[in-house]
Amino acid sequence: MRHIISILIENEAGALSRVAGLFSARGYNIESLTVAPTEDASLSRMTLVTRGSDDIVEQITKQLNKLVDVVKLMDLTEGPHIEREMMLIKVRAVGGDQRDEVKRMADIFRGRIIDVTDSTYTIEVTGDSTKLDAFIQALDKGLILETVRSGVMGISRGEKALRI
């Protein structure tokens, strides 16, 4: 099962390495990890996507909670939530037909072209991870020059909030 774990962690040097080190030391896998400070500069919010059986994910959350720098955490996948990821993708776009086709595809996926040269487009797409996967699938593989994905971030729906 895929789990999205949101963590509030002290914004201190080494905090990230404690989380990353925990995963490598105990053989858990990290699918993606994003981190940035919150509105309170002393706190960072981390979103971590991992896969594992219920037992393993239970251990992961317990071990994370045990880290002294971790203030609070929540497994977003336990309730209704929204997840988003951003992708920047640079594609070859030469000649009218190719440029039209790429533009059309970007529109279908509600992407925005954010950089243009006479031979390339750079497109920004946001959505959940499967949508970004689908966009990559929809493009002609030979056209893709570079992709960069932010990794997943997420938030729970409704009143529920991860805050101290």
Query: What is the binding site for another protein (CB under 8 A)?
Result: 9-10, 13-14, 17-18, 21, 25, 55, 58-59, 62-63, 65-66, 68-71, 164
State which residue, 137 or 164, has the beta carbon closest to another protein. 164
Q: What minimum distance in Å lies between the beta carbon of 55 and another protein?
A: 7
CB of 21 to another protein, least distance (A): 6
Pick the closest to residue 144 from 125, 164, 163, 160 (CA basis).
125
Q: Which is nearer to another protein, 22 or 134 (CB)?
A: 22
Q: CA 124, CA 89: separation in Å to the nearest integer?
A: 7
CB contact set of 123 (below 8 Å; sequence gap of 6+): 88, 89, 90, 91, 102, 106, 111, 112, 113, 114
Q: How far is the CB of 63 from another protein (least distance, A)?
A: 5
Contacts of residue 141, Cβ cutoff 8 Å, sequence gap at least 6: none
- Helical H runs in 95-145? 96-108, 129-138
Burial pattern 104-124, b for ≥16 Cβ within 10 A else e, equals: ebbeebebebeeeeeebbbbe
Q: Residue 68 or residue 141: which is nearer to another protein going by CB?
A: 68
| Least separation in angstroms between CB 161 and another protein | 17
Shortest CB 6 distance to another protein, Å: 15
The type of residue at 155 is: I
Residue 59 or 147 with smaller CB distance to another protein = 59
Q: Are 5 and 65 in contact (CB under 8 A)?
A: no
In this complex, which beta carbon is closest to another protein, that of residue 68 or of residue 137? Answer: 68
